[in-house]
Structure 1
């Protein structure tokens, strides 16, 4: 007889900047993924899904729906990179 899993909750482990979080479903909006850290990711940061192999990493858009695999690795990066705005002074 098959086990009844109707009341069991699925926990999908994902990592954002190497910190483990758990999702209750394999499907999540980008906004839900951005809300996992405390505090949630602000508009100054982009969230990216690390893609293995030669393909480009995937930008996670807040309004888009994603199928999340257990162990998925995400990372953050500044939304805008302005190479002339740093405080580095070459001497």
Structure 2
């Protein structure tokens, strides 16, 4: 877990899109240049990628966290936070 933002570029070095966004996934900082990313894009940011065995959620302060599906689009803004959780929870045997 690093506090140093990791640069992720996605063709946003165009003159019409100079802004970048600081976000977090599982407490790791990332700097993204695209204004909109898909759930699949977000899952590819960490190294290694977030596997299919985990779900990705956007933290919604004061509300219910939002599960981000692979084909969902997410508008980037500074301070967005995401976390992962096991996709399937085994409560154990009795």
Q: Does 1:43 align with 2:57?
A: no
Unaligned runs of 5+ in 1: 86-91
Q: CA deviation at 1:11?
A: 1.3
Match of 1:34 in 2: 43
Equivalents in 2 of 1:63, 1:8: separation in Å? 23
Question: Which entry has the higher C-alpha Rg, 1 or 2?
Answer: 1
TM norm structure 1: 0.80
Q: CA deviation at 1:7?
A: 6.0
Query: RMSD of the TM alignment (CA)?
Result: 1.7
Count, aligned residues: 80
Give every structure 1 segment of 4 or more consecutive aligned residues whose post-TM-superposition deviation is greater than 6 Å: none
Unaligned runs of 5+ in 2: 1-13
Equivalents in 2 of 1:58, 1:7: separation in Å? 30
Q: Deviations over 1:62-91 (max 9, x none)?
A: 111111221101011000001016xxxxxx
TM norm structure 2: 0.78
Match of 2:76 in 1: 68
1:1-91 counterparts in 2 under 5 A?
Answer: 6=15, 9-53=18-62, 55-84=63-92
